Amino acid sequence: MTVDGRDMGEHAGLMYYTIGQRGGLGIGGQQGGDNAPWFVVGKDLSKNILYVGQGFYHESLMSTSLDASSVHFTRDMPEEFTMEVTAKFRYRQPDSKVTVHVKGDKAEVVFAEPQRAITPGQAVVFYDGEECLGGGIIDMAYKDGVACQYI
């Protein structure tokens, strides 16, 4: 289903799709579309609805920060600190400038530029140049301070 409620057909099960996924949707070339590719932009587990939107930078995919847990580092770090580094949220993705506020094993990660398809349950990994500093598991993404529910 599109974010504006248009039925696009059936899906194979919500567990087979991730936020930002393009392939395997089987809905290319829809009449009335703008020929841009379709992406998974949300899931409603209670209603078994997979939401899709057109365009790589669809507004429903963008966020400005995230919360992470199970944060670990490759060296000893203070219990509470802030650092400006780069991060990756997806495999083969370019590094993104971030500010990381760490408290214990949790972190708030604020993006210098909005980021696409930040997905709870996936990893955020911190870098200083080529050196991997550590990372954690994404708990929630936010857009301008409001939790991204991905519909």
Spell out the per-residue pLDDT of the chain, length 151, in tens. Answer: 988 899 998 999 999 999 989 988 888 766 566 778 899 998 998 999 999 989 888 998 999 999 999 999 999 999 999 999 999 998 888 999 999 999 999 999 999 999 999 999 999 999 999 999 999 999 999 999 998 876 5
Q: Where are the domains of the chain?
A: 14-56, 62-147
Q: What's the whole-model pTM score?
A: 0.84
Q: Tell me: domain 62-147, CATH 3.90.650.10, correct?
A: no
CB 92 within 8 A of CB 81: no
CB 88 within 8 A of CB 96: yes
Q: In whole angstroms, give the CA distance from residue 66 to residue 143.
A: 9
**Closest to 148 measured CA to CA, from 20, 68, 62, 70:** 62
CATH class of segment(s) 14-56? mainly beta
